[in-house]
Every structure is written in structure tokens, then in C-alpha cells.
Structure 1
Amino acid sequence: MHSPFIRVLDLSFAFIGLLILWPILLVVCIIGYFDSGSPVFLQQRVGRNKKPFTLIKLRTMPINTQSVATHMVDASSVTRYGHFLRKTKLDELPQLINVLKGEMSFVGPRPCLFNQQELIKAREHRGVLTVLPGITGLAQVNGIDMSVPEKLAKVDEEMIRTFSLTAYFTYILQTATGKGSGDKIKH
């Protein structure tokens, strides 16, 4: 799924994105500091071939929030500023660093937590964990989140099987224009 050409695109877009968007990232981090006291959120995630990596995001919940899948967290756990970050998808901006480091791609299956055993098992069965995780993908633009592990793994497998340069740009553009949503929060 991820050819050397896609890697060059990932590197180019991540570098250009950080170069252009760093002022926005700085402002969002400063505001985030006043919101939670710690604007950057680091969390161990399952990477390619189950290799752990540290996902970088902007914090949308208080520091003491339990480290579980988003769909298992109560909606009241998200701060008002966090709702804004999630709605605008600005909380994902620091993942450009993960892309530069080669831990993620722009397009791929969203990386899960190591405690999401049902999803890991379903993804292993379908060969999904053999590719780099991504910031967005087919499941994300169709609103499928990690609360339905088997369905998500199936859609991830389909994305890998049908992957093309056109699909790469389509998923990125659909995400940038607001199609789909992040992981749902428990209400």
C-alpha cells in the first residue's frame, strides 16, 4: 500500500504542512495551555507490524482522563476547547510529526491502543497491521470508528486492497473538507 512514491508525498506534505501551519499550531498550543495546562497529548499506539509508537495530538480532555478508546470516554470528559479542536480536526495537526518520523502516513488505518484487543485481532486476521497507520482513510471519511472493530477492520482491509494514488488524494481532500468524523464519544 505504501510505495516509495507515497512516502515521498507523505514527507513533502508533512514538511510543507508544518512549515505553513506552525503559527496556527503555536497559537492552538498556547490556548491549550490555558485550557488544560498541558496542550500536547502523547499516547502509545499500535503501529505497523504491531510496533509501538508515540502518537502526538493536541489534548482535548483533562490530563487525568483514563487512557481508553475515545468511544469509551464520556462526552463530558471533552473540554469546550477540545470540542472545537475535534470539530476542526486541529487536534490531529501534530501527527504531521509522526508522518515525518515514518511512524504514520497521511492515509492508512487509524492507529488503535494496545488495550483494544478485539480490533487488533480483527486487523491481524485481515492483514491490516502490515501497513503504516494513517491520519485518515476510508473508514474515517465514512464515519466508521473503533466502536465497531470487525466492521472497521473489514473497511481497512478494503482500503488497502483498493488503494491507489487517486484514493490517497481523495481521502485527504474528503477529510480536509469535513467529510466523516473522528471517533464518537459516549453520550
Structure 2
Amino acid sequence: MLLLSPVFVAIGIAVLVSSGWPIFYSQKRVGLNGRTFKFYKFRSMVKDADKIVHEVENVHAGDHVIFKNKQDPRITPVGRILRKYSLDELPQFLNVLNNSMSVVGPRPALPSEVSIYNSIYERRLIAKPGITGPWQISGRSDLDLRTSVALDLNYLINWSFTRDLWIIVSTVGAVFKGKGAY
């Protein structure tokens, strides 16, 4: 964390100068054994973005696809850069320090996603969610929920320390490419 502190300060100043307080955004997510926790990110959207009437993320019950608008008008100019290179995710290391997340693991689920989980999908809740994982290196926001869950379940069944190292190294490449990040 100490090594990241200059980056935290620089990003915090950029968010503050571009769009004011708060610099962090927190959201309820579901983690290990279905427990909820506060999930932290640098704020990349306008203030009160969650209260804006037009929904840009929808979970459709039929095929459980999560849609994210690539041109979401709520994203700030600085936020667009932070998201492209996943810099908005750095505060999740605070979640690792408070033991609600790990560095590598299943994608942290939204309560609205968990509410439509079947018994197979629920299996992804047997491990701490990760800052990165198979979804991060396989398409990120371009993935539908079914694919994301399948990747997570495969990860959990075939977990190994060397696979975690491979995912961490692969994450660096995925972040620099910026594919699926918006």
C-alpha cells in the first residue's frame, strides 16, 4: 500500500480538481459466504450518479446479461481515463487490507446479481472476491453474467498458486490494452 500512496494522492487530486468531493465511491457488494461489504473505488462518475433516473446498467432476467453503456454520460473525463486503465479499482486494496477481498478471486457480485443466482451461480460465493480474476483477463465488461460466472467457477475448481500468479501477470497486459474497460 505504501508503494501505491503517491499514485493514490495523484489520482485523488485529479478527481478532486476535475469533479470535486468525494474522491471515493463505495458500493455494497456480496462476498465470501454471501456477506455484504463496502466496495471502494475512485469516483469516476458525476456525483450522485446512482440517483440519475436513466439506468445504464440493467440485469435482464432471461439471459442474465449485464449491459454497460460504453458512452455512459455519467462518467467524467478523468473517470474515463481511470476506468480505461483500471486505476479506479486501486482502492480495492483497502478491501484486501480489511479482509473482505483478495487480490485474485471471483468477481465481486452486486446484490442485484446475487438475487437472480441459481444454486450453481451461488458457488462463486465460496471464496473471497478478487481485485482481479479470470473475468479481468477475458473481456471484463464485455462479458455477460453467465460467462463471468463460468470463468469464476472454473477458477475456483482449478485454483492454484501458479494460476493466481499467471492471472496477476496477465492482468497487467489486460489493463494496458484497456479492452472491455468502460
TM-score, with length taken from structure 2 = 0.81
Query: Displacement of 1:22 after TM fit?
Result: 0.1
- Alpha-carbon distance between aligned partners in 2 of 1:157 and 1:31, rounded to the nearest angstrom: 37
Query: Displacement of 1:184 after TM fit?
Result: 5.5
Query: Displacement of 1:79 after TM fit?
Result: 1.1
Query: Displacement of 1:182 after TM fit?
Result: 7.5
Superimposed CA distance per residue, residues 64-87 of structure 1 (whole angstroms, 9 cap, x where no aligned partner): 212775844552221110111012
2:45 counterpart SS class? coil
| 1:128-147 superposed matches below 5 A | 128-145=124-141
> What corresponds to 1:14 in structure 2?
none
Matching of residue 40 in structure 1 with residue 21 in structure 2 = no
Change in CA separation of 1:156 and 1:145 when aligned onto 2, cut-off 3 Å? farther
TM-score, with length taken from structure 1 = 0.79
**Counterpart among 82, 85, 93 of residue 85 in structure 1:** 82
2:135 counterpart SS class? helix
- Alpha-carbon distance between aligned partners in 1 of 2:120 and 2:32, rounded to the nearest angstrom: 11
**How many residues align structurally?**
167
- Alpha-carbon distance between aligned partners in 1 of 2:135 and 2:78, rounded to the nearest angstrom: 25
> What corresponds to 2:48 in structure 1?
64
Query: Displacement of 1:117 after TM fit?
Result: 4.1
| 1:19-168 superposed matches below 5 A | 19-37=2-20, 38-66=22-50, 69=57, 71-73=67-69, 75-117=72-114, 121-122=117-118, 125=121, 127-145=123-141, 148-168=144-164
Percent same amino acid among aligned pairs? 31
Does the 8 Å contact 1:41/1:58 carry over to 2?
yes
Does the 8 Å contact 2:24/2:42 carry over to 1?
yes
Amino acid at match of 1:41: Y
- Alpha-carbon distance between aligned partners in 2 of 1:123 and 1:171, rounded to the nearest angstrom: 26
- Kindly indicate which of the two structures has a greater share of residues assigned to helix: 1
- Unpaired segments ≥5 residues, structure 1: 1-17
- Unpaired segments ≥5 residues, structure 2: 58-65
- Alpha-carbon distance between aligned partners in 1 of 2:140 and 2:84, rounded to the nearest angstrom: 16
